Amino acid sequence: MISGYSHNLSIQILVDLLIKHGIKKAVVSPGTTNLEFIAALQYNGDFEIYSSIDERSAAYMACGIAEESSEPVIIACTESTASRNYFPGLTEAYYRKLPIIAVTGIHRYYHIGTLFPQVIDRSVSPNDIAVCKAQLPIIKDKEDIKQTELLVNKALLAAKSSNSGPVHIDLPCCNDDYDFSCKELYNAHKIDRYEVGDKFPDLPNGKIAVYVGSHRNFTEEETEKLDAFCACHNSVVFCDHTSGYHGKYAVYAGLLSVQRKKYDIMSNIMCVIHIGEQMADWPTMTRLKAAKTTWRISPDGELRDTFGNLSNVFKMPLITFLKHYIDDGEKKDAYYKECSATKATLKIPYDKLPLSNVYAASKISAVLPSDSILHIGASNTVRAWSLFDLPNGAKSYGNVGCRGIDGVLSSAVGASLADNKHLHFCAIGDLMFYYDMNCLGNRDISGNLRIILINNNGGGIFKQSVAPGYRFFGDKATDEYIAAANHFGRGEKNVIKNYVESLGFKYISAKTKEEFDSVYSTFVSDKNTNSPVFFEVFTKDSDDRKAFDIMSSIDAPPENHAKQVAKQLLGPKGIDAVKKLIGR
């Protein structure tokens, strides 16, 4: 008699989520690496289990059961050639869109390729045997638990979707000493997916916030409906300069989010409505992880667990979701007023800021032409610009899909060519500029392009107070290889000046705050000139570091600021890991 569940958390999470997703039919075959899983199904008692000696036959049996019952069916076997025998039946299921869930056991992934008995490599499969593949990790910590939950939910939802088909789950079996004394399954986190025509859940009671990552510009109807949603539910839209939303409930919380104090506007949120893709404002996203749950809205229906608490995914256009939750009740804006009032309490100490990426962003963001377009580079540049609002009407973009070093300058050039009726500004750092500088030779560039380059002679992001490079190795060692300093003429003025002037750009520069203040109005002038304009601002990485430290400690003394921010970002486990890495 089976006395309980295995203590293998991977198996417990899989079984618990199978139950929560209403999947109870299984065809199982004999084996050792699937023994704990089959025993769990037996011990639970609610599964409808069939036995099949031959895995090839088992897969086809499952096809018949799924076709007849219109329900997903589990098939489970051990590793080696047993799992290979599923291929014909899974291929059949793929082309008939039958919801078969193939669970194949494996000892340990590191045994692959070591000539360990019966271990084969299933990391790559034919394209037409599964619509989703999940290789579950060997669970060692909470992050592995979260990953396992996400992968299992993703696979089961793929099998249950309107465009269903077979899925494959690799289930690690790492127990040398079997223990079946566990009486209760681990309570795994279930994620639900809703499509058009489904019955939608009720919004949670309490504070609701919308978060928009990188997104194309909202249409007039999308903006209208999102504004109406916020008015109905006393909500706000946390967004950044890549969000594409310019409605009345927009809250740019970058400056608040970098402060040590945790403001109430991002506390006690019951639900985050997540729209869009990658985010530029990392600190705000990090603060919002404290919310109780997240609902993701996207036509792709994919499980994007950005905040670590995803519970519902809505596979549909945004407007379809919003229309369902807009009602004719009382319109409220107390939350928005609270956010605006809280932002107003932070008084930026402009006089204390040295010439830096932050200083340049603070000055230019306030006077950009209202109908202009800003393209923002990654790393320090997007961190700096996220601290400031833009004028109403100004649009902004950033290459944050990968948050990589390359491409934003070329993107700005391309946009300026496609739209010659507006001024296109590009803010960029020196390493990113050198990566992409060849695009400035394009023969079609015209006077509607303006580029501001913050040149601190290296990768400034690696020398911030909270950056591991600077914190543990200092300026000199970090400069040598980590920050790649002193390339391209060591930041000398004439290197870039000669290059861009030879390509027809008007060149201006600044090495002090006084020089900057005297020329930046020329850079932002809304007069479309015959020549594109290049503004090079020479800064010191120490000043860039100081500026960020000042801006992130407006509401508190800056003493020990780096340590405090590092603790917030890394947490105790992260701090310990870094100490071990450097031998402390």
Residue 242 is which amino acid? T
Whether residue 401 sits in one domain with residue 337: no
Q: Which of 184, 218, 239 is the last residue of a domain?
A: 184
pLDDT reported for residue 389: 95
Whether residue 435 sits in one domain with residue 302: no
Whether residue 548 sits in one domain with residue 410: yes
Which residue segment(s) compose the domain that 467 sits in? 350-552
- Is 472 a residue whose pLDDT tops 90? no
Decide if 574 is inside a domain. Answer: no
Q: Which of 319, 344, 369 is the last residue of a domain?
A: 344
Mean pLDDT within 358-383:
94
Helix pair angle (220-233, 318-325), 10° resolution: 30
Whether residue 381 sits in one domain with residue 306: no
Q: Which of 300, 319, 344 is the last residue of a domain?
A: 344
Residue located via tokens 């948050």: 403
As a whole-number percent, the residues of the chain with pLDDT over 90 amount to 74
Enter the pTM of the model: 0.88
- Is 572 a residue whose pLDDT tops 60? no
Q: 32 to each of 76, 100, 178, how far by Cα in Å?
A: 11, 21, 11
- Is 441 a residue whose pLDDT tops 50? yes
Count of domains observed in the chain: 3
User: Per mean pLDDT, which range of 40-44, 203-207, 379-383 is the poorest?
Assistant: 379-383
Whether residue 277 sits in one domain with residue 139: no
Decide if 565 is inside a domain. Answer: no
In sequence order, the 6+-apart residues with CB closer than 8 A to the CB of 174 are: 8, 107, 108, 138
Whether residue 532 sits in one domain with residue 416: yes
pLDDT reported for residue 486: 81
Mean pLDDT within 438-448:
94
Decide if 134 is inside a domain. Answer: yes
Mean pLDDT within 88-110:
93
Report d(CA 304, CA 3) in Å as an integer.
38
Whether residue 357 sits in one domain with residue 337: no
* Structure confidence at residue 365 as a pLDDT band (50, 70, 90): very high
Decide if 558 is inside a domain. Answer: no
We report the CATH number of the domain holding residue 257 as 3.40.50.1220
Which residue spans within 371-493 are E strands per DSSP?
373-376, 395-398, 424-429, 449-455
Whether residue 389 sits in one domain with residue 515: yes
As a whole-number percent, the residues of the chain with pLDDT over 70 amount to 94
Whether residue 180 sits in one domain with residue 41: yes
pLDDT reported for residue 530: 86
In this structure, what DSSP letter does residue 281 have?
-
Decide if 81 is inside a domain. Answer: yes
Whether residue 417 sits in one domain with residue 514: yes
Decide if 108 is inside a domain. Answer: yes
- pLDDT, the chain, mean: 90
We report the CATH number of the domain holding residue 179 as 3.40.50.970
Nearest Cα to 15, choosing from 32, 39, 31, 33? Answer: 39
- Is 487 a residue whose pLDDT tops 90? no
User: Per mean pLDDT, which range of 106-120, 151-165, 217-231, 278-292 is the poorest?
Assistant: 106-120
Mean pLDDT within 100-117:
84
Whether residue 450 sits in one domain with residue 370: yes
Decide if 231 is inside a domain. Answer: yes
pLDDT reported for residue 573: 52
Decide if 566 is inside a domain. Answer: no
* Structure confidence at residue 506 as a pLDDT band (50, 70, 90): very high
29-84 pLDDT per residue, tens:
999 889 999 999 999 999 999 999 999 999 999 999 999 999 999 999 998 889 99
* pLDDT: which is higher, 568 or 322: 322
Report d(CA 273, CA 471) in Å as an integer.
36
Nearest Cα to 37, choosing from 159, 164, 185? Answer: 185
Whether residue 72 sits in one domain with residue 114: yes
Mean pLDDT within 318-334:
94
pLDDT reported for residue 113: 79
